[in-house]
Amino acid sequence: WRAVGMARKVALITGITGQDGSYLAELLLSKGYEVHGIKRRASSFNQARIEHIYEKSQSKEEKVPFYTHYGDVTDLNNLVTLLNKTQPDEFYNLAAQSHVHTSFELPVYTAHVDGIGTLNALEAIRQAGLAGKTKFYQASTSELYGKIQEPKQSETTPFYPRSPYACAKLMAYWCVVNYREAYNMFAVNGILFNHESPRRGETFVTRKITRAVAAIKAGRQNDVRLGNLHSTRDWGHARDYVECMWLMLQQEEPEDFVVATGETHSVQEFCEIAFAHAGMELRWEGSGLDEVGIEKATGIVRVKVDSRYFRPTEVDVLLGNPEKARTKLKW
C-alpha cells in the first residue's frame, strides 16, 4: 500500500486467537494491512496460534503492524470503543462458541456469543458512525443446513438448524442480511463448510483423530473413541478459506457465499486415511455402538464408538456447492 502512495488498510478481527483468525491475520499482513485483533482476558495463555505474529510485531528487524486489544463480542460498549479507536476498513467477526456438541450443554451462552455477539458487532459499526466505511464479514456456517433440504447445499438452499450453535448462527446470518438492507451496510455472510488445519482446536473430530493416531503410533495410547462414524462432511483447509473471506470484502456489492470443496467424506474414511499415514491399515467389524476399527497387522482394536459423543440431533451429511465463489470471486 505504501508503495503506491495509498493509506494502509486497517482490519479488525474478533476471534484472532483461533484457527481462522491466525491464518487471516497472516494473509492480511502479507497484503500490507494494519491488523487489530480482539482477544478475551484469560488466566491461562490463549495466544499460541498468534504468538509468532506477536513476536514479529515486537521485532525491530521485521516489525509488522499487528496489535491486540482486550474485548468481547458480548460487550457492545467495548466494541464501539474499539471501532472508534481503530477505524477499520474491514471488520471480520470470527468470534464464537464454535463447538456444536458443547452448544447442547451451553445453549444460552452460545446464543449470547454467536447470536447477540454478531448483532452487537453490527450495531457497534452503526453506533460508531462507520456504516458507510467499514465492511463487515460474518463467519457463517454449513451447520445452518443441518437436516439438509437439498443433496448439495448452495446459497439458496433452505436452512434447517439442528443444534443450539446452528440456531444462534441462524440469528447472526439474518442480522447481517437485515443490517445490509436496513442501513445499506457492506455486510456479508461466508457460509463456510468444515475447514481444518494443524491449528484446529484439539476437541474437533479431525484433530482428535490425528492426535490419537500419533499417540497410538508412539505407544502412548491404545485406541480412540468417536461418535457417529458415518457422518459425512465437506472438509477443506482453513488457509484456503480465509482467502475467500478477504475476497468477499473486495467485491463491488455485498453478497453471501458458500465456501466448500464440493466433496464429502465420512469420519470413518478420515480414520482410515489418518491411520494409513502412520502405517496402520484398518478393517471394520460390527455395527452401531459395536462397530470397531481393527488394525489389520495386529488385530488390535484402534477405533471404538462411544455414545457420549452422539449429538441429540445429528447432522448426517454436509456437501457444499462452491460454484458461486468459484465464478464470482475466482476462488
Sign of CA pseudo-dihedral 141, 145, 150, 151: positive
Q: Is 206 a catalytic residue?
A: no
Locate cell 455402538: which residue? Answer: 289
Active-site entry in 34, 143, 196, 295: 143
Q: What is the pLDDT of residue 324?
A: 98
* Pair 248, 329: CB distance under 8 Å: yes
- Locate CATH 3.40.50.720 in the chain: 2-197+235-263+317-328
Instruction: Please tell me the number of Cα atoms within 13 Å of 66 on its side-chain side.
Output: 26
Q: What is the pLDDT of residue 69?
A: 98
* Pair 293, 284: CB distance under 8 Å: yes
Active-site entry in 141, 157, 210, 232: 141
Active-site entry in 33, 165, 173, 179: 165
Q: Domain 205-230+266-309 classified CATH 3.30.559.10?
A: no
- Locate CATH 3.90.25.10 in the chain: 205-230+266-309
Neighbouring residues of 57: CB distance < 8 A, sequence distance ≥ 6 = 63, 64, 65, 66, 67
Q: Domain 2-197+235-263+317-328 classified CATH 3.40.50.720?
A: yes
Query: Digits of tens for pLDDT over the chain (331 positions)?
Result: 344 456 899 999 999 999 999 999 999 999 999 999 999 998 889 999 999 999 999 998 889 999 999 999 999 999 999 999 999 999 999 999 999 999 999 999 999 999 999 999 999 999 999 999 999 999 999 999 999 999 999 999 999 999 999 999 999 999 999 999 999 999 999 999 999 999 999 999 999 999 999 999 999 999 999 999 999 999 999 999 999 999 999 999 999 999 999 999 999 999 999 999 999 999 999 999 999 999 999 999 999 999 999 999 999 999 999 999 999 999 9
How many residues comprise the chain?
331
Q: Is 33 a catalytic residue?
A: no
Max CA distance (Å), the chain: 66
What is the C-alpha separation between 137 and 82, in angstroms, rounded? 17
Q: Is 141 a catalytic residue?
A: yes
Q: What is the pLDDT of residue 3?
A: 44
Instruction: Return the exposure string of 5-38: e unless at least 16 CB atoms fall within 10 Å of the residue's CB, then b.
Output: eeeeebbbbbbbbbbbbbbbbbbbbeeebbbbbb
Residue type, 146: G
Q: What is the pLDDT of residue 1?
A: 37
Torsion of CA 328, 92, 188, 10, to 10 degrees: -70
Locate cell 491466525: which residue? Answer: 22
Looking at the DSSP bridge assignments, the partners of residue 91 are 12, 136
Tell me the angle at which helices 267-277 and 205-217 cross, rounded to the nearest 10 degrees.
30
